[in-house]
Amino acid sequence: MTELPARRLLLVHAHPDDESINNGATMARYAAEGAQVTLVTCTLGERGEVIPPALRHLTGAALGEHRLGELTAALRELGVTDSGLLGGAGRYGDSGMMGLPDNDDPGCFWQADVDTAAASLAEVVLRTRPQVVVTYDDHGGYGHPDHIQAHRVAMRAVELAADAGWTVPKVYWNRVPRSVAEDAFARLRADLPGLPFDRVAAVDDLPGVVDDDRITTAIDGTAYAGAKAAAMRAHATQIDVAPDAPYFALSNELAQPLFTTEYYELVRGERPRERESDLFAGVEAVAR
């Protein structure tokens, strides 16, 4: 068996761009430090709303293909070289927002059999043998069906991989502490007159906002702020990043903060008594 890097991180996301928004600084930091960083994306985001007018002709499969190119460019900015689409390109379609008829498409990810999808992901877990897996909470962070399904598939894949011989020591969910979000939005509102945005999102519009005591881990990615912003800019159909300012907007045109310290809740593994600064804290780094 080929020897793997001593530290190995697997992230499971729903669509291209989710990885850069949620974990871009974390991914860039660990990749730069020599860890194996693997990303699995569950859909191509074919039903995403396109921001730039010049690209709004892209829909369906054409948009998915374009977003795959954006993802490739974003990962290049983050220094991540190991990535793939769950089940292969086009296996699972974007499900659209919750409550829309798109959710009923038999080919969409929301309609996927969880065990079947998880078996595909478990193959990646067994190949990469991560000590750490990162995904969403059981609400998908904000209720999008593909995010909820990504959570279900990731958590089930960890179980299946354990049955097949690799036990993941630590599983984290993406989080934002409420106090950090509130402070960031206060700065955003003060800075708004100098930004290319007219309106501001609300704290509860952010995925994964929870009370501070839920946070177990904070990853300082300040040194990789430029890489994260560049990765987000690579997703030009979906993200409008302010020039020279830590803010961005999605297709709703509501400004929100761009976080370079990224936060997590440990849900599998021994909960630390004090907040961690390393996803691999307490895990033996072993090449195998």
Contact at 8 Å (CB) between 230 and 221? no
Buried b / exposed e along 76-91 (16+ C-beta atoms within 10 A): ebbbbebbebbbeeeb
- Residue 10's beta-bridge partner residues? 38, 133
Contact at 8 Å (CB) between 110 and 146? yes
CA end-to-end span of the chain: 8
CA within 13 Å, CB half, 198:
2
Residue numbering of the annotated binding site for Zn(2+): 15, 18, 147
Backbone angles phi, psi at 44, to 5 degrees: -95, 0
Residues 90 and 108: their CA atoms lie apart, in Å, by 10
How many Å separate Cα 224 from the centre of its chain?
Answer: 16
Nearest CA among 208, 211, 217, 212 for reference residue 271: 217
Q: What does the H/E/C string look like for 227-251? A: HHHHHHHHCCCCCEECCCCCEEECC
Residue numbering of the annotated binding site: 15, 18, 147
How many other CB atoms are found less than 10 A from the CB of residue 102?
17
Contact at 8 Å (CB) between 124 and 130? no
